[in-house]
Amino acid sequence: MSIDIERFLAILGKEVKNYQVPVVDLIAVQTKDPFKILVATILSARTKDEVTAKSSERLFEKAGTVEKLAKLDETTLQKIIYPVGFYKNKARYLAALPGKMAADFDSKVPSSMEDLLSLPGVGRKTANLVLAQAFGIPAICVDTHVHRIMNIWGYVDTKTPEQTEMALRKKLPQHYWITVNSLLVAFGQGTCRPVGPHCERCVLASGCPQIGVTPRKRKSKKKAKDVQRLISWNVNGLRAVFKKGFIDIVKDMDPDVLGLQEIKAMEEQLPESLQKLKGYHSYFYSAERKGYSGVATYSRHKPENVIRGIGDPRFDDEGRVLTLEFPSYYFLNCYFPNSKHDLSRLGFKHDFNVLLQKFAEDLAMKKSVIICGDFNVAHKEIDLANPRQNRKNAGFTPEECAWMDSFTDAGWIDSFRMKNKEADQYSWWSYRSRARERNIGWRIDYHCVDKNSRKKIVDADIYQHIQGSDHCPVVLDFLG
Ligand code: SF4
């Protein structure tokens, strides 16, 4: 199967407009300065864009010109550019750069491949990027994303980035040479990721041959007879998600028990088909305040008992916890309070957490307990895309993370992390800045299981492909 490269790149041209711009492109657009583009490109090798951006900024504050760079020694440079990858080597190259440029190029960045390759720390990839970005000279910068994606598409069949560059020079229309790197770096970081590419939401999925690709894991509908599929989903308004195909989504997910949070409705405000979801027993626990909070649970089997609330009107008036008791386990559907933008509800949230934990621990003395829901906290740095920027923000404050630490230290098991250690696994994305497309998200929805039921955790997953809310469903297969 051969792809239509013009069509693919045209589609991507529109698609990546909303993606994060690769850092070197950004610096090129902002500065139009060959020296800064060269230095940022050297820093960017084997380094995340966020890290390159910050290190470049620090360096340019002190050395925005080759003359100023000449005044910094290698040790100082190491300190400034840390933690970029291979920072010691890069500091050595940067320390040697001004001397070489002064001796051979009158302290100017040269504009030919041969001259660029003579500079310390500059290989073909860097040289091509500098030629394209700094001088607008047609050059194809082949980094890992360009090499990988061109092979996935079957447009080239090569083993190394150098071979890819040579193959592309022969067949890629020249008007794409300068832009192909930016397009595929942005696309490779946002959708066609090296590990677990998001084929399920890719604009090229219908025409892509996916050579050598293992698409992101999708849950098989099949499960063993004695396994219960438990799903938790903050729907951010049950009536709203109903209009977006909720009934079909539930059919497709096929849960045994489905816990919904933030239903934002009284039972009587819901359409009949939601009040009595076909094939399920339906239970609601709404907030007293209309259009706010509230949880609902649908269960294929009739539970033995239903408990509404946790015995404190401060929380129960907001419809936050609905418990279904089954023969071998309790299913707690919880909507944890949000500590609020100004953190004014941090204390309220902490009180809820403590009481909820006590409530669950009392139940766990009798049988297994699963606490599912929107916990409104990302536990560790791996659980959100931008941990450093959010350290003081609601959902990732030291106080909230400390409670989550104490909760797991008490033996509660985060079932997803027990089964999956990968980064970039999120369950909530802000509606702003197209965060979902760029996967700038948080994992704040969980199924936590009591310490004695570890062996009953069969599998855990996040259904990132399911739309309809700013959260996606999270899944636990549990031996019920
Ligand atoms: S369909 Fe999958 S492999 Fe193909 S380009 Fe899209 S994300 Fe990459």
The number of the ligand 1 atom at minimal distance from the alpha carbon of 197 is 7
Strands of 10-156 (E only): list them: none
Q: Which one of 143, 374, 459, 477 is the catalytic residue?
A: 374
Q: Which of 115, 62, 55 is nearest to 82 (CA)?
A: 55
Compute φ and ψ for 109, nearest 5 degrees.
Answer: -75, 125
Q: Return the CATH number of 227-479, one of 1.10.1040.10, 3.40.50.1220, 3.60.10.10, 3.30.450.190.
A: 3.60.10.10
Q: Is 440 helix (H, G, I), strand (E, B) or coil?
A: coil
Q: Is the CB of 303 under 6 A from ligand 1?
A: no
Q: Is the CB of 395 under 6 A from ligand 1?
A: no
Give the pLDDT of residue 26. Answer: 76
Q: What Cα–Cα distance (Å) separates residue 300 from each residue in 36, 86, 187, 228, 280?
A: 61, 55, 41, 10, 4
Residue nearest to ligand 1 atom 8, measured at CA: 192
**The dihedral sign for the CA sequence 261, 336, 257, 200:** positive
Query: Do residues 451 and 412 touch, judged by C-beta distance below 8 A?
Result: yes
Query: Do residues 180 and 140 touch, judged by C-beta distance below 8 A?
Result: yes
Active site residue 374: yes
Interstrand relation of 227-234 and 257-261 (parallel, antiparallel or unpaired): parallel
Structure tokens at 200: 């399920």
Give the pLDDT of residue 80. Answer: 96
Distance, CA of 219 to CA of 460 (rounded, Å)? 10
Q: Is the CB of 144 under 6 A from ligand 1?
A: no
Q: What Cα–Cα distance (Å) separates residue 474 from each residue in 22, 87, 120, 216?
A: 31, 39, 49, 15
**The dihedral sign for the CA sequence 32, 35, 38, 43:** negative
Q: Is the CB of 198 under 6 A from ligand 1?
A: yes
Give the pLDDT of residue 298. Answer: 98
Give the pLDDT of residue 46. Answer: 79
Residue-wise pLDDT for 274-317, tens only, equals 999 999 999 999 999 999 999 999 999 999 999 999 999 999 99
The number of the ligand 1 atom at minimal distance from the alpha carbon of 205 is 1
pTM above 0.75, yes or no: no
Superfamily of domain 5-201 in CATH is Hypothetical protein; domain 2 (1.10.340.30)
Q: What Cα–Cα distance (Å) separates residue 199 from each residue in 189, 190, 383, 474?
A: 13, 11, 22, 19
* Helix and strand counts by DSSP (H, E) for the chain: 19, 14
Give the pLDDT of residue 216. Answer: 61
- Residues with Cβ within 8 Å of 334's Cβ and at least 6 positions away in sequence, in order, are 261, 295, 320, 321, 356, 371, 372, 373, 374, 375
Residue given tokens 């100082």 in the structure block: 76
Give the pLDDT of residue 45. Answer: 85
- Residues with Cβ within 8 Å of 446's Cβ and at least 6 positions away in sequence, in order, are 232, 371, 372, 373, 375, 414, 415, 416, 474
Distance, CA of 402 to CA of 379 (rounded, Å)? 9
pLDDT under 70: residue ranges of the chain: 1, 195, 214-222, 434, 437
Residue-wise pLDDT for 379-437, tens only, equals 999 999 999 999 999 999 999 999 999 999 999 999 999 999 988 899 999 988 768 86
Q: Is the CB of 9 under 6 A from ligand 1?
A: no
Domain ranges of the chain: 5-201, 227-479
Q: Which of 127, 145, 163 is nearest to 42 (CA)?
A: 127
CA 192 – ligand 1 centroid, Å: 5
CA 217 – ligand 1 centroid, Å: 14
